[in-house]
């Protein structure tokens, strides 16, 4: 073999040898980098109600070999007790850490420094744990929470830009049975962990610290709650919320929750416990706020507890399409609503399209209860009680459909069956606890009229040919402080295929004394009020015709003949009741024309006295004729 060939082969073999050695070295180095030697083992410390133990803190071999400060490391077998909470994790991984390892180690120490301050020094790109177990002691009850696949992203001074929990399960054990919660994926943005921790470890005697945002937004999927003690299960497909605000309470959140749980398990409370319970509830209710929260696709099932076989009832099942709450802002009022409620069993059912409450406020109640400082409600005077009245705002119900057994002790029918299109109540603009703006409206309450009813009114309506009663009414009034007047915007009642009766008017000389907590002052203001105008509108939509047809049948005549008789007799009947005054004649003639040709009858009453017609005038009048003499009456028939 030529020399140059042997030389080339030798060089080639040498190159392959060197390359192989380099590859082995690279593989060995890569493997070594994956090893995580422990730099700290069996870390155990304790202080007060905080205790911590860590099996090991591990860093990559490369950092350990060159004594570098690792930006990635892990802690194994962590157990951390903080007050009533105990946290356990087999492994927690930190990556992209921008602080020294000693700062991370201080997080798991139990030094006298508050935990919130330690959290504020932690910054990392990501923190993950495959499983985390939290045990919370709640008086005699214990709550255990399991978190799976926890990931915290972009941690800056303890604040977490995004938190993801793959799954979560909660078990709460107590004397009345166990409650199991399970959740699918949970996402939280802008979680302020230092502020959250401060809520549980900080006491605020003034209970007036400013609110701090705890969550930016959160989403929970596929929630499932099972209460074995009450045989109730609830599933929620999705729960969303944003802008969760809170402040510390007088006893701290941890202390308040423990106390409320303890009191909830007692059947009888001492006077001191009752006062402390009221104070604690008021403190907690005023210590948080939520910008928005929504639960979608809620399903409920309640199975009656075992009893005698003959008393067994079918399970109650229900569904709610949506429950949402929007907190008040400078531009919009608070709003809470429930949509698409269906609930029932084999015995009956109930459906509600929408329930909403807009513009309500509990602040007057919370501030009033806080001012009581433990005084029993039974000892409060009228003024103090008025201070506890909340602002209702506007309550709306729509799309109600009920078919239920009649459980009344005085049964007139075996079932309660009705539908209601809308019902609305507005009560706001309070003065000394009383609303100065009121509006109550009911639209299309439809009740089936049983043919075998013993009720006199039902029997009369069925005799007139009505198979159901479809009624509506409206009451709307508001107080004008500047003018010292109450405007009766409308007081009306309406029956489908029957007719409408409505009243509008103005009441003057109504000062704010009418809303005084002092009963004598309010009564004097009421007596001083004066009616300034009144309008009555009567519109026939079938009731008069049905009545005349039924009466004509009974009297063996025709409805037209009977209508003529009634129309002619109306002026004489009114005069016999109210006298022969001009006002009575005007009223009687208008009623006669209305009976003769039903349509719309409009009556207007104005006091002859420019100052109005007073309550005392009506009270001191011994005869309706005296009242009528003080009014100017006009009438119109259309």
pLDDT higher at 243 or 25: 243
pLDDT the model gives residue 312: 57
Q: Which among 159, 176, 170 is positioned nearest to 122, based on CA atoms?
A: 159
371-385 tens-digit pLDDT: 776 677 777 778 878
pLDDT of residue 16: 41
- pLDDT number for residue 487: 93
- Per DSSP bridges, beta strands 393-405 and 124-138 are unpaired
Q: Is residue 548 part of a domain?
A: yes
pLDDT at 101 (0 to 100): 65
Q: Which of 338-342, 391-395, 465-469, 541-545 has the highest mean pLDDT?
A: 338-342
Averaged over 322-336, what is the pLDDT? 90
Percent of the chain with pLDDT over 70: 85
pLDDT at 39 over 70: no
95-123 per-position pLDDT tens digit: 888 877 677 666 666 556 777 777 788 88
* The pLDDT of residue 320: 96
Q: Does pLDDT of 34 surpass 90? A: no
Stretch among 161-175, 325-339, 364-378, 580-594 having the lowest mean pLDDT: 364-378
Return d(Cα 323, Cα 337) in angstroms, integer: 6
Report which of residues 177 and 71 the model is more confident about.
71
- Sequential DSSP letters for 27-96: HHHHHHHH---EEEEEEEEEETTEEEEEEEEE--HHHHHTTPPPS-EEEEEEEEEETTEEEEEEEEEEES
**Distance of alpha carbon 459 from alpha carbon 544, whole angstroms:** 17
Task: For residue 302, name the pLDDT band (cuts at 50, 70, 90).
Answer: confident
pLDDT at 538: 93
Give me the pLDDT at residue 448, please.
86
Between residues 536 and 98, the one the model is more confident about = 536
Cα gap 440→564, rounded to integer Å? 39
In whole angstroms, how large is the CA radius of gyration of the chain?
Answer: 38
Q: Tell me how long the chain is.
A: 638
CA pair distance 190, 330, nearest whole angstrom: 23
Distance CA 165, CA 188 (A): 9
C-alpha span between 200 and 468 (Å, rounded):
58
Give the CA distances from residue 26 to residues 19, 23, 33, 576, in Å, rounded to whole numbers and listed in that order.
10, 5, 10, 119
Q: Residue 412: what pLDDT?
A: 59
**pLDDT class for 541, splitting at 50, 70, 90?**
very high
Identify which has the larger pLDDT, 373 or 630: 630
Q: Render pLDDT for 460-517 as a digit per residue (tens, 0 to 9).
A: 888 888 988 999 999 999 999 999 999 999 999 999 999 999 999 999 999 999 999 8
Q: What is the mean pLDDT of the chain?
A: 82
Residue 216: what pLDDT?
A: 93
| pLDDT over 60 at 292, yes or no | yes
What is the pLDDT at residue 309?
42
Q: Which band of pLDDT confidence, cut at 50, 70 and 90, is reported for residue 329?
A: confident
pLDDT of 38 reads 54
Q: Is 375 helix (H, G, I), strand (E, B) or coil?
A: coil
How many Cα atoms sit within 13 Å of 156 on the Cβ side? 5
Residue 590 belongs to what domain range? Answer: 529-637
pLDDT bin (cut points 50, 70, 90) of residue 310 is very low
- CB distance 425 to 439 below 8 Å: yes
Burial of 41 by CB count in 10 Å (0-12 exposed, 13-18 middle, 19+ buried)? exposed
Minimum mean pLDDT range among 105-114, 252-261, 577-586: 105-114
pLDDT tens sequence across 183-206: 999 999 999 988 888 888 788 887
pLDDT at 339: 96
What is the model's pLDDT at position 365?
A: 82
Split at pLDDT 50, 70, 90, the class of 386 is confident
Asked, for residue 317, whether it belongs to a domain, the answer is no
463 in a structural domain: no
Cα separations in angstroms, 106 against 114, 393, 574: 11, 51, 94
pLDDT for position 567: 87
More confident residue, 133 or 253: 133
Q: How far apart are CA 595 and CA 578, in angstroms?
A: 19
Q: What is the DSSP string of 486-527?
A: EEEEEEEEEETTTEEEEEEEEEE---GGGG-SSHHHHHHHHH
User: How far apart (Å, rounded) are the C-alpha atoms in residues 276 and 283?
Assistant: 10
Nearest-angstrom CA–CA distance, 609 and 14: 126
Number of domains in the chain: 2
pLDDT of residue 67: 43
Average pLDDT rounded to a whole number, residues 210-222: 92
117 phi-psi bin (left φ>0, alpha ψ -120 to 50, beta other): alpha
Residue 10 resides in a domain? yes
Highest mean pLDDT among 93-102, 318-327, 607-616: 318-327
Classify residue 145: in a domain, yes or no: no
Cα angle value 181/183/188 (rounded, 5°): 125
Q: What is the pLDDT of residue 115?
A: 74
* Residue closest to 82 by CA, chosen among 118, 57, 124: 118
Q: What percent of the chain has pLDDT over 90?
A: 31
pLDDT at 147: 93
pLDDT tens, residue by residue, 122-160: 888 999 999 999 988 776 778 889 999 999 999 998 899
d(CA 372, CA 278): 10
* Residue 174 pLDDT: 66
- Residue 84 within a domain: no
pLDDT digits 0-9 by tens, 617-629? 776 766 777 777 7
Distance CA 135, CA 84 (A): 8
User: What is the spatial distance between Cα 425 and Cα 356, in angstroms, rounded to a whole number?
Assistant: 11
- Nearest-5° angle of CA 408, CA 401, CA 454? 40
Identify the pLDDT of residue 485: 93
pLDDT of residue 410: 59
- Say if 583 falls within a structural domain: yes
Asked if residue 598 belongs to a domain, the reply is yes
Give the three-class secondary structure for 136. Answer: strand
pLDDT of residue 251: 85
Mean pLDDT of all residues in 561-571: 88
What is the pTM for the complete model shown?
0.79
């Amino acid at each position: 073999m030529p020399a140059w060939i042997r030389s080339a082969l030798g060089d080639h073999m040498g190159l392959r040898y060197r390359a192989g050695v380099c590859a082995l070295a690279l593989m060995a180095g890569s493997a070594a980098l994956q090893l995580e030697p422990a730099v700290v083992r069996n870390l155990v410390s304790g202080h007060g109600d905080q205790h911590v133990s860590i099996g090991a803190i591990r860093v990559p071999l490369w950092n350990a070999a060159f004594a570098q400060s690792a930006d990635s490391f892990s802690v194994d077998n962590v157990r951390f007790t903080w007050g009533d909470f105990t946290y356990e994790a087999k492994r927690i991984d930190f990556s992209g850490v921008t602080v020294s390892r000693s700062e991370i180690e201080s997080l798991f120490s139990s030094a006298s420094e508050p935990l919130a301050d330690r959290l504020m020094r932690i910054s990392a790109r990501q923190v993950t744990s495959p499983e985390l177990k939290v045990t919370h002691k709640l008086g005699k009850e214990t709550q255990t929470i399991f978190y799976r696949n926890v990931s915290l992203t972009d941690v800056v001074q303890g604040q977490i830009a995004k938190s993801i929990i793959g799954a979560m399960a909660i078990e709460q054990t107590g004397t009345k049975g166990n409650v199991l919660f399970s959740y699918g994926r949970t996402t939280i943005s802008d979680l302020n962990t230092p502020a959250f921790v401060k809520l549980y470890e900080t006491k605020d005697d003034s209970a007036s610290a400013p609110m701090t945002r705890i969550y930016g937004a959160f989403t929970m999927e596929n929630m499932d709650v099972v209460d074995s003690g009450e045989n109730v299960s609830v599933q929620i497909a999705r729960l969303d919320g944003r802008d969760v605000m809170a402040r510390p309470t007088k006893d701290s959140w941890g202390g308040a929750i423990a106390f409320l749980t303890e009191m909830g398990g007692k059947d009888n409370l001492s006077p001191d416990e009752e006062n402390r319970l009221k104070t604690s509830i008021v403190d907690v209710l005023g210590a948080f706020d939520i910008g928005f929260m929504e639960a979608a696709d809620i399903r409920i099932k309640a199975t009656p507890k075992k009893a005698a076989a003959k008393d067994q009832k079918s399970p109650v099942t229900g569904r709610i399409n949506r429950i949402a709450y929007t907190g008040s802002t400078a531009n919009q009022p608070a709003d809470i609503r429930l949509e698409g409620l269906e609930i029932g069993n084999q015995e009956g059912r109930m459906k509600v399209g929408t329930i909403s409450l807009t513009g309500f406020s509990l602040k007057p109640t919370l501030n009033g209860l806080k001012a009581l400082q433990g005084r029993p409600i039974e000892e409060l005077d009228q003024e103090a009680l008025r201070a506890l009245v909340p602002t209702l705002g506007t309550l709306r119900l729509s799309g109600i459909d009920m078919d239920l057994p009649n459980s009344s002790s005085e049964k007139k029918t075996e079932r309660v069956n009705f539908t209601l299109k809308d019902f609305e109540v507005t009560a706001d603009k309070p003065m000394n606890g009383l609303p100065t703006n009121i509006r109550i409206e009911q639209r299309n309450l439809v009740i089936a009229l049983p043919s075998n009813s013993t009720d006199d009114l039902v029997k009369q309506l069925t005799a007139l040919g009505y198979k159901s009663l479809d009624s509506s009414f409206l009451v709307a009034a508001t107080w004008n402080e500047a003018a010292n007047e109450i405007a009766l915007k409308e007081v009306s009642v309406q029956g489908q295929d029957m007719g409408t009766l409505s009243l509008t008017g103005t009441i003057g000389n109504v000062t704010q004394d009418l809303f005084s907590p002092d009963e004598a002052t309010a009564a004097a203001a009421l007596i001083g009020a004066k009616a300034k105008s009144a309008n009555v509108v009567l519109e026939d939509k079938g009731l008069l015709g049905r009545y005349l047809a039924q009466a004509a049948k009974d009297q063996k005549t025709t409805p037209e003949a009977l209508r003529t008789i009634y129309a002619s007799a109306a002026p004489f009947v009114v005069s016999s009741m109210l006298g022969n005054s001009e006002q009575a004649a005007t009223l009687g003639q208008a009623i006669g024309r209305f009976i003769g040709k039903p349509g719309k009858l409009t009556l207007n009453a104005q006091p002859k006295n420019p100052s109005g017609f007073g309550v005392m005038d009506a009270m001191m009048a011994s005869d309706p004729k005296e009242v009528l003499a003080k009014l100017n009456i006009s009438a119109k028939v259309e």
